[in-house]
Amino acid sequence: MRFLYNLLTYLLFVPFAVYWLVRGVSNRVYFDRLYQRFGFGFPRIDGCIWIHAVSVGEVQAAEPLIRALIARFPDRQLLVTTVTPTGAARVRALFGESAQHCYIPFEFPSAVNNFFRSVSPETALIMETEIWPNLYRGCGIREVPLILVSARISPKSVPGYGKLLPLIRETLSHGIIIAAQSQDDADRFLSLGANPSRTCVMGNIKFDVKPDSGVRDIAVVTRKELFGDRPVWIAASTHEGEEQLVLDVHRDLLVRHPDLLLVLVPRHPERFAAVRELIEKRDMTVISRTEQRPAGDAEVFLCDTMGEVPLFYAASDVAFVAGSLVPIGGHNLLEPAALGVPVITGPYNFNSQDIADLFESLGACRIVSGTDELGEVVSELLTDSEEAERLGRAGQQVLEDNRGALERLLVLLEPLLNTGN
């Protein structure tokens, strides 16, 4: 099975290369250190703590862990790898010179081997969801302890992994410790062949993420400068096909709330220009964040910058967390909840169904079935300040009640990391 898997990775070499080059033409950041993706030009690092976080969301989730590691092990080198350039930018913004960054290589055996020739990690921490047979085997062969942090597998993913069950079982046999988000996640890993003695439920470290202490104060000033006294709702991390739906909802809301402003935040920066064009084609007035001027009478404020989602969540009256009106699987409900902003999400939350279910069961968010209900709930929360405040407080309470995964994880990691002292 591994032979067939490796053969497939090499057969996909050309399509992968073409895909990345095409993306680079439309967004040149994808050319950033492209050679690393194919196994070349890695920094030489011995004995580092290695954290892998795919993109922006995983980097944000890993922030409290990385900061705790920097504080507890100031003499250790930290390497953070990502897949996306946006993730790389977030690593630089959050940690500066405190952590090194490189891109994770594609799963070609030669690329993975080249990575390990340059990088000799003492411990590997992989955030959340990824199972990479060659990468994990590389850790196993080199006896590098590997921990899946806040590990999760959606029910939708299990059948796909099941088609490669012999390979997945072998992959999970390399001494991997699985620190699962929930018992359901742990059970799914066990069904794929994880070792029960090395599988435990740690909780979700996203609950331990705390907003920057000054973000609310900055948001008050930003809102006054950019939006004046207008009511504001935000649709954050939208995807292709979803912006159209959100704009339709906003157009209907303007009938009832003529001064209402929509802050629209596309998930991927390469789509900023296309989303602006879409707004203009809908004959809606728009101001972009990069124009560095107030929204004025514009109907839509397009956030076409990176790293400012928390600021604009805090500057909004109502937050819709996107990726959930279309079958993407939803995004991070905890980020706006931590700021006390009332949270709405759509019907597709399978990426973090446990969190969505928890929030709904405790009355800490609204899950809408579609665009009609989304418009109704946004309108309700704009006019019913008591319900909006209650929803915001409930979200903050859910986070407070579920903190602690980070400390449990550090207790697990301490013996592994202290062996290098």
Q: Two tokens at 231?
A: 């009511």
Please give the Cα distance from 12 to 87 (Å, whole number). Answer: 24
Please give the Cα distance from 294 to 297 (Å, whole number). Answer: 9
Task: Give the sign of the dihedral formed by CA 315, CA 251, CA 273, CA 19.
Answer: positive
CB-CB neighbours of 262 under 10 Å:
27
Question: Residues in the chain, how many?
Answer: 421
- 3-class SS letters over 91-152: HHHHHHHHCEEEECCCCCHHHHHHHHHHEEEEEEEEECCCCCHHHHHHHHHCCCCEEEEEEC
Cα-to-chain-centroid distance, residue 206:
10
CB-CB neighbours of 345 under 10 Å:
27
Q: Please answer whether residues 266 and 295 qualify as being in contact, where contact means their C-beta atoms are separated by less than 8 angstroms.
A: no
Q: Please answer whether residues 333 and 355 qualify as being in contact, where contact means their C-beta atoms are separated by less than 8 angstroms.
A: yes
Task: Give the sign of the dihedral formed by CA 28, CA 61, CA 351, CA 161.
Answer: positive
Report the candidate in 237, 302, 300 with the shortest Cα–Cα distance to residue 273.
302
CA dihedral in degrees (111, 190, 141, 50; nearest 10)? 60
Q: Please answer whether residues 44 and 118 qualify as being in contact, where contact means their C-beta atoms are separated by less than 8 angstroms.
A: yes
Residues with catalytic annotation?
Answer: 58
Q: Please answer whether residues 90 and 21 qualify as being in contact, where contact means their C-beta atoms are separated by less than 8 angstroms.
A: no
Classified as helix, coil or strand, 180 is strand
CB-CB neighbours of 47 under 10 Å:
11
Q: Two tokens at 197?
A: 């003695």
